[in-house]
Amino acid sequence: MMKILWKLFVLPFFPFLLFAQTYNISGRVGDKNNAALIGVNIVLTDGSSGTASDNTGHYSFNNLKPGEYTLRFSSIGYKSELRKVAISDKDIVLNIVLAEEAVEAGQVVITAGKYEQNMSELSVSASVMPADVLERKNFISLEDAVRYLPGVNMTDDQLSIRGSSGYGRGAGTRVLLAIDGLPFYTGDTGQIIWESIPVTDIERIEVIKGASGSLYGSGAIGGVINIITKKVSDKPVTYIKALAGGYDRPKYKEWDWSGGYRYFNGQVISHSNSIGNFRFTASLTRLEDESYRQSSFYHRYLGYFKGNYSLSPTSSLNFIFNSMNQRNGSFIYWKNSRNALVPPDADQGERIKSNRYMAGIDYKNIISKDFSLNIKAGYYRTYWEDQTESANNSAANVYRGEIQSTLSLNSSIVLVSGVEASLSDVQSNLFGSPASGSFGVYTQGDIHFDIPLLVSAGARFDYNKLDTLNAFSDFSPKLGISYSLSDNLKIRSSIGTGFRAPSLAEAFTSTYSSGITVKPNPNLKPETNTSFEFGFNWNILSSVNLDAAVFQNEYYDYIEPGVDTDGKITFNNVVRARIQGYELNPVFHVMNGLDFTMNYTYLWARDIEKKKALKYRPRHIASASVTYMFNSFETGADFRYWSRVEEIDDELVSLGLVPDGELRDNVYVLDLRAGYDFSKLRLPLKLTLTADNILNYYYVELVGNLAPIRNVTLSAEFVF
Amino acid sequence: MIKKIIFFLPLLLLIAGCDKGIAPINEVEETGFSGTVTFKGTWPADIKRTHIIVFKEPVNLASDFNILNLGYIGKEIPSGVPSDDYNTNQDTSYFKIQPGTYKYIVVAQSSTEKVSLERKDWKVAGIYYSNNNSNTPGTLTISENTMVKGINIICDFDNPPPQPPGGE
């Protein structure tokens, strides 16, 4: 016990007691053509540190004490490499060439368990989208990217993993989104503001689909998306991206409201550098979109800063700052199907102004090879106002803090424990001036046995107080296993519970807009769920991998908006829901340079009491992607399909609020892309051309909202 | 030749597959009603907005003044005008009028800046009466693809109509 107390309370503040002279390991990661590989995960296998290659393929580990280290290099599409190095009295330079190999999903590093581990060790289903995929598809907003993740579908801006969410405008999310582990949802509506995250600064997107409540608490009831930002380079690197594009004109002349093409453009400038022990990346993004719809334009500025200050050989401070300033139009529903790209007359000319700022700090201290400590604090301020007749506005502050320890009790047990607290306050003419607070304590142990079995067991206790609502607490346990039946076949299973506290918006909204009155519900309770899944990952051949899972989620007191007896919209604990389904995710490495991936999800999402489908849940979700790379040229296609949703907000249609709102169909979206990297010609330039919705397929995700029509984007990226 | 077919077939399929999905629903014959609102007397000074409001059922209780009972809210009628010609298909602010029977058609005025669905915020300035029966509010039946004309309403500020319960 004394040893643990020593580790917890003494060593964090006097780390110099442990170490003295230190050295660095650095180098470059490239492919067989010597082109830089960006975003390659590089970890010290003792678990003490991890990083990723930067935009020039370089990486570094600093302040390492003399000794032997094993580095693992891994990246989707490449064969992992293990390299041992010994540091005696000088820095080490280690350059690596990774060979292509499409199928090695298990080597992908993920932080689902709040520490870096191989995806194959997880007892829950997860997937990763790395930076190179984000770049080659020219995504402007994170919201566009997550539509391509397996098992995920979006209804307008609301994310659903395995059917966890339908649609509630301005209501909270059932998926927790975190940036480098810091939760990132607003204090008033509990929403994810996708557009405020600069895509070019993302190293990878991790999606955790199974039981996550035991580690992440409220908000993770439907899964977790963790955005891992790019590591800060200690070498001067400047990155510039410019993009421009336009929307095609619609086929139907009734829809051609502007009589011309509509354009968008964007610019990103980013610089990384170091001053002594301080390394940083700062970026500024400007985006402008005229939009294919009337009154749906935006002008957006994103600021981003990430800093790393090395306090000692084993401790560091990481800073992150993110801002978004945006002016945009408001398009809630179409006027009617003949005016599908035009809002109703009453909504014409509405504007929204929003300013959002997030700041976070993360103190990491590797006290020993067995014990590390993380202390995180975050602040997120959001302010927005609109120019509707209600002149809605809201200012919200969220303060968060977390202390987490990672302890290797011996070589086979990793124990992650922590405490977390948050406070929110709101000033709004929509929600009033409510405040909320929450506190959570969690622990999870991953136990490796001599046989290839990993058992993951954990629990979390949460206490929440939402202004005048009754305080409530929740206990969320989880049990999971991961077992290797052979070198090529791993099975996993997990069961756990979760809960979601109502957002302030769900409990306290009082407004009127577009003919709809929303009233508060002071009796709202948290919703809870139990989730179960069983899955396997099978390397069928050296070039074929299949990941599959069956899952069942039971939801209780599910919060949904509905029309009350007085005709006003309110949020209620009305639904007892069951969501069952399965997923198939095969990956084919057809030949060198040619890869093919597919995802299929079957969803059976039912309101058990009403015996009908939950709103906005397609029964079939599928996607496919093919990529061909030849030297510096690459091309590919991406296809998405989801079946016609059975249930929508019928009230909006029957009341005549959304004329022709019943229109919906199966969705087929095909995107094409091509890119050329000029770095072999000694030009630090990459050009990418994408054509999204090339078939110009007209579809809606949300009632009365036509999704983007065919559009083309050309981008140029410079790294020097 | 076969190579050309193999090359061009995907292109042809691509072109053939374009511009599918949902399409505009053909405009049908107009469904709704039109007429003239005539104002007599001096407009009250505290009026902020004036609308034609159509209810499916009579407003016998304050709680009948709710969104489920609403059939239509017309455009805002400018304050101070002596009369206003309206057409529900051209002037809809929020609701598209649906075929059906409507039992309470009024011109209502509010002293609030925002559109409110609180009964207390409204005063009825004029009621539609059919067949010159000024004792019972007129019933209006709208059939599919039919435009009912001549739904005229008189608002006499010096002689206001009976107010439904729930007002101030």
Burial of residue A395, with CB atoms counted within 10 A of its CB: 0-12 exposed, 13-18 middle, 19 or more buried: middle
Q: Are A512 and A364 contained in the same domain? A: yes
- The answer to whether residue B16 sits within a structural domain is no
Three-point CA angle A581, A475, A465, nearest 5°:
110
Length of chain A: 720
Task: Identify which of B22, B75, B113 has the shortest CB distance to residue A700.
Answer: B22
Residue A700 contacts B, CB cutoff 8 Å? yes
- The answer to whether residue B167 sits within a structural domain is no
- The answer to whether residue A89 sits within a structural domain is yes
pLDDT, chain B, mean: 83
Residue A705: closest CA among chain B residues belongs to which residue?
B22
Residue A346 contacts B, CB cutoff 8 Å? yes
- B115: which chain A residues are within 8 Å (Cβ-Cβ)? 389, 512, 515
Query: Per-residue pLDDT for B115 more than 80?
Result: no
Q: Are A105 and A161 contained in the same domain? A: no
State the CATH number of the domain containing residue A49: 2.60.40.1120
Q: Which of A111, A138, A173 is the last residue of a domain?
A: A111
Mean pLDDT of A245-265: 94
Contact A338 B24 (CB under 8 A): yes
- The answer to whether residue A135 sits within a structural domain is yes
Q: Report the gap between the CA of B159 and the closest CA in chain A (Å).
A: 30
- Does the complex come out with an ipTM higher than 0.85? no
Q: Which of B13, B19, B48, B98 to mutate to test the interface with A (most CBs of A within 10 A)?
A: B19
Contact B70 A664 (CB under 8 A): no
Mean pLDDT of A161-165: 89
Q: Are A155 and A102 contained in the same domain? A: no
Query: Per-residue pLDDT for A468 more than 90?
Result: no
- B95: which chain A residues are within 8 Å (Cβ-Cβ)? 515, 655-657
Mean pLDDT of A160-175: 81
- Quick one: three-class SS letters along A122-145? CCCCEEEEEHHHHHHCCCCCHHHH
Query: Amino acid identity of A349?
Result: G
Task: Identify which of B18, B75, B95 has the shortest CB distance to residue A515.
Answer: B95
Least confident of A49-53, B86-90, B125-129: A49-53
What sections of B2-149 are H helices per DSSP?
2-16, 88-91
pTM: 0.77
Of B126, B55, B52, B125, nearest to B92 by C-alpha is B52
Query: Per-residue pLDDT for B166 more than 80?
Result: no
- The answer to whether residue B10 sits within a structural domain is no
φ and ψ at A94, to 5 degrees? -130, 105
Query: Amino acid identity of A199?
Result: V
- B17: which chain A residues are within 8 Å (Cβ-Cβ)? 695
Query: Per-residue pLDDT for A129 more than 60?
Result: yes
pLDDT tens readout for residues A421-464: 999 999 988 788 888 899 999 999 989 888 889 999 999 999 99
- The answer to whether residue A264 sits within a structural domain is no
pLDDT, residue A460, reads: 92
Q: Which residues form the domain of B131? A: 25-156
Between A591 and A264, the higher pLDDT residue: A264
Q: Report the gap between the CA of B153 and the closest CA in chain A (Å).
A: 23
> Is A699:A707 a contact under the CB 8 Å cutoff?
yes
- The answer to whether residue A448 sits within a structural domain is no
pLDDT, residue A109, reads: 63
Q: Are A534 and A575 contained in the same domain? A: yes
Task: Identify which of B95, B113, B117 has the shortest CB distance to residue A656.
Answer: B95
pLDDT tens readout for residues A397-426: 999 999 999 988 877 888 999 999 999 999
pLDDT, residue A10, reads: 41
* Euclidean distance between CA atoms A361 and A378, whole angstroms: 6
Query: Amino acid identity of A153?
Result: N
pLDDT band at A13 (very low <50, low <70, confident <90, very high): very low
pLDDT band at A104 (very low <50, low <70, confident <90, very high): very low
Contact B22 A664 (CB under 8 A): yes
pLDDT, residue A111, reads: 76
Q: Which distant-in-sequence residues (6+ apart) come within 8 Å of A688 by Cβ?
A: A135, A136, A138, A673, A674, A675, A713, A714, A715, A717
pLDDT band at A55 (very low <50, low <70, confident <90, very high): low
- A344: which chain B residues are within 8 Å (Cβ-Cβ)? 92-94
Domain count, chain A: 2
- The answer to whether residue A449 sits within a structural domain is no
pLDDT band at B32 (very low <50, low <70, confident <90, very high): confident
* Euclidean distance between CA atoms A40 and A58, whole angstroms: 10
* Euclidean distance between CA atoms A180 and A227, whole angstroms: 6
Q: Are A644 and A507 contained in the same domain? A: yes
State the CATH number of the domain containing residue B127: 2.60.40
Q: Are strands A527-541 and A516-518 parallel, antiparallel or unpaired?
A: unpaired
Contact B93 A696 (CB under 8 A): no
Q: Which of A111, A135, A150 is the last residue of a domain?
A: A111
Q: Which of A63, A87, A111 is the last residue of a domain?
A: A111
- A663: which chain B residues are within 8 Å (Cβ-Cβ)? 22, 25
Contact B93 A700 (CB under 8 A): no
pLDDT, chain A, mean: 86
Q: Are A209 and A100 contained in the same domain? A: no
- A706: which chain B residues are within 8 Å (Cβ-Cβ)? 22
- The answer to whether residue A613 sits within a structural domain is yes
Q: Are A326 and A199 contained in the same domain? A: yes
Q: Are A90 and A147 contained in the same domain? A: no
Contact A251 B19 (CB under 8 A): yes
> Is A194:A400 a contact under the CB 8 Å cutoff?
no
DSSP-derived secondary structure for A644-671: PPSB--HHHHHTTSSTTTT----EEEEE
Residue B93: closest CA among chain A residues belongs to which residue?
A346
- The answer to whether residue A542 sits within a structural domain is yes
Q: Are A55 and A197 contained in the same domain? A: no
- The answer to whether residue A634 sits within a structural domain is yes
- A337: which chain B residues are within 8 Å (Cβ-Cβ)? 22-25
pLDDT tens readout for residues A526-562: 899 999 999 999 988 878 889 999 999 999 998 887 7
Least confident of A517-526, A633-642, B90-99: B90-99
Q: Are A50 and A187 contained in the same domain? A: no
Domain count, chain B: 1
- B27: which chain A residues are within 8 Å (Cβ-Cβ)? 338
Residue A390: closest CA among chain B residues belongs to which residue?
B114
Q: Which residues form the domain of A159? A: 126-258+275-342+357-414+478-719
Query: Per-residue pLDDT for A265 more than 60?
Result: yes
Q: Are A388 and A496 contained in the same domain? A: yes
pLDDT, residue A609, reads: 87
Query: Per-residue pLDDT for B27 more than 70?
Result: no
Q: Number of residue pairs across A and B with CB atoms under 8 Å? A: 97
Three-point CA angle A512, A661, A648, nearest 5°:
85
Least confident of A12-21, A328-337, A479-488, A558-567: A12-21
pLDDT, residue A241, reads: 94
Contact A346 B27 (CB under 8 A): no
Query: Per-residue pLDDT for A669 more than 80?
Result: yes
pLDDT band at A349 (very low <50, low <70, confident <90, very high): confident
pLDDT tens readout for residues B85-104: 888 877 666 667 888 899 99
